Amino acid sequence: MFTLNLVTPEKKLVAGAEIEEVFVPAFRGELNILPGHAPLMTTLSTGVLRYRFKGETVVHPVAISWGYCQVSPTGVNILAETAERPEEIDLDRVKIALTKASERLASVDLNEADLAKFQNKVGRAQVRQEVASSGPKSTH
């Protein structure tokens, strides 16, 4: 059995669910993890995590921001700073956040720390917007 655990400090999104595959936004690019994958530990970037339950064709997207992924012979454990399903995301608030962060990025008086901060905010808002607009998709 190959299972997925996806948790944040505030909630459990998936606990011990049997899966066919999971796609994670790893630090250096997306990883597709299938049963039999070699053991692995990696950091995660802000991005879209997608998983498919065993026997299903629907791929479930989740917007995550930063975290850790551990792959073992029995499954995948993900600890994310934040994780949101499409139905949990307020698209109007995301659009406002994206506009504000983009405006701040256009400012000429940003120091290096602020530049990184607002680049992260734009990236997170873009990922949340993508997930909120997409919802689950069938692979067939």
Give residue 73's domain range: 3-86
CATH number at residue 15: 2.60.15.10
Amino acid at 118: F
Give the whole-angstrom CA distance, residue 95 versus residue 81: 21
Question: In terms of domains, do 103 and 76 share one?
Answer: no
Residue pLDDT, tens place only, 54-82: 999 999 999 999 999 999 999 999 999 99
139 in a structural domain? no
Question: In terms of domains, do 51 and 74 share one?
Answer: yes
Q: What's the pLDDT band for 138 if we cut at 50, 70, 90? A: low
140 in a structural domain? no
pTM: 0.85
Give the whole-angstrom CA distance, residue 111 versus residue 20: 45
Alpha-helix runs per DSSP H in 9-111: 91-105
What domain count does the chain have? 2
Question: In terms of domains, do 31 and 15 share one?
Answer: yes
Are the C-beta atoms of 13 and 87 separated by less than 8 Å?
Answer: no
pLDDT value for 136? 66
Is the predicted pLDDT of residue 88 greater than 90, yes or no? yes
Question: In terms of domains, do 110 and 127 share one?
Answer: yes
Question: In terms of domains, do 34 and 71 share one?
Answer: yes
> Would you put residue 67 in left (φ > 0), alpha (ψ -120 to 50) or beta?
left
The two three-digit tokens of residue 99, written as one number: 């506009």
Question: In terms of domains, do 34 and 98 share one?
Answer: no
pLDDT value for 108? 72
Q: What's the pLDDT band for 118 if we cut at 50, 70, 90? A: confident
Q: What's the pLDDT band for 114 if we cut at 50, 70, 90? A: confident
Would you tell me how many other CB atoms lie within 10 Å of the CB of residue 140? 4
DSSP secondary structure code for residue 9 in this structure: S
CATH number at residue 101: 1.20.5
